[in-house]
Amino acid sequence: MKATQQRTLAVNGITLSVHVAGPEHGRPIWLLHGFPECWYSWRAQIAPLVAAGYQVWMPEMRGYGASSAPQAVEAYDLLTLCADIQGAMDLLGQRQVCVVGHDWGAPVAWHLALLEPERVQAVVALSVPYAGRPKQPAIELIRAHFKDRFNYILYFQNPGVAEAELDADVAHTLRMFMQGGANGDLILKDKPASATLFDGINQPDRLPPWCSAEAFEVYVQTFAGRGFHGALNWYRNFERNWQRTEPLAEACVEQPALFLLGDLDPVGVLEAHTLLRMPKRVPRLEQHIVKACGHWIQSEQPDIVNGHLLRFLASHFPV
C-alpha cells in the first residue's frame, strides 16, 4: 500500500479526518467507506490508483475514527453526510472529481452525483444500487415486512439497544460482521423479532483471508473508545432522508456510472427489485457481478475490482 497522509479538515460544522495519497496535482478520487468499516477498507485500491496518476482521498466518515461523532441522531441524515464531502471538496478547491462508495458510502456517492452534476464527473458504487427516491420511507416497508421476524435495520433503530451489544467487545463485533456479513448470516438469518444481532451466529475462530491482523487492528482502532453509536445513527435517518431528498425525487444520475456487486452479497437478495429498476434512474450505467465474492467486495476481490475501476476511469475520468 502506498504511504498516506492524514489531514484534518474543518467542514460542515465538524472535524473530518481524511487520508490522502498520490500526486499533489493528480485528479481527485474520493473513496467513501461503509458500515462498519473505515478508510483502510480501500487499502488494496490505493497503490493502483496512485500508480495511474490519481490523488486518492479517503475520509473517515462522520461518526467514525478521528472524525467528529455528534450524539444527535438527526446529525447523520444523508444530505448532511453529503455536505461533509462537498465542504471538503470546496475547501480543497476541487472542481472535478470521481466519487466511489461502498455499502453506506454508495448512497452518499449516488447522491453526490445528483447534487453535484458538474463537479462529480463519474460515480462508482459497490454493493448498494440506486433506483431513485422510494414512494415512502424504506423503514416503513421494512416494518411492514418484518412484523414478527428479526431485521437488523429495525434492531438498529432504538439508540442504545444495538450499542449495548456491539460496543461490549469491538473486536468480536468486527469479526462477526466480517464473517457473517459477507455471506448473509447476520442480515438474512430467520429468527424472532426479540432476538439480538448475534443470536444464532457462530463466532468465527479466525480472521477472513482478506483481512490481515495488521488491517484488523486499524478497523478496531476506528471504534475503540467511541463505540458504534455514530455509525449506527446512519441507519436511524430513513424517514429524515426521505423527507430531505424530496427535491431530488425525479432526478436521474446522468454521469457515467459503474456498479459492482458480489454474487454472494446478501444485498443482492435484499435489493433485487432496486437492481432491476436501476438502469431507468442511471441511464449511463455499466454493471458487473463479481464471482465468488461476498459483501466486502473491494477487499475480497481487489484485483477484479481494481481492473473494472481502472478501465472505467480510463474511459470516463482519465488522468
Q: Per the structure block, which three cell numbers stand in for 293?
A: 465474492
Q: Are strands 257-262 and 14-21 parallel, antiparallel or unpaired?
A: unpaired
Q: Please state whether beta strands 5-11 and 14-21 pair in parallel, antiparallel, or not at all (unpaired).
A: antiparallel
Count CB atoms within 10 A of the CB of residue 80: 19
User: Residue 125, SS3?
Assistant: strand
Q: Which residues are marked as active site?
A: 103, 295
Count CA atoms within 13 Å of residue 197 on its CB side: 24
Q: Of 73, 107, 90, 95, whose CA–CA distance to 253 is shortest?
A: 107
Chain centre distance of CA 81: 11
Q: Which H, E and C letters describe 89-124, residue by residue?
A: HHHHCCCCEEEEEECCHHHHHHHHHHHCCCCEEEEE
Across the strands, what pairs with 260?
126, 288
Neighbours of 76 (CB within 10 A): 24
DSSP letter (8 states) at residue 192: B
| Cβ atoms within 10 Å, residue 19 | 21
Q: Which of 149, 24, 102, 136 is nearest to 258 (CA)?
A: 102
DSSP H or E segment with residue 176 = helix 170-183
Distance between CA atoms of 280 and 268, rounded to whole angstroms? 18
Distance between CA atoms of 277 and 281, rounded to whole angstroms?
Answer: 7
Q: What is the dihedral of CA 61, 64, 65, 69, to 10 degrees?
A: 100
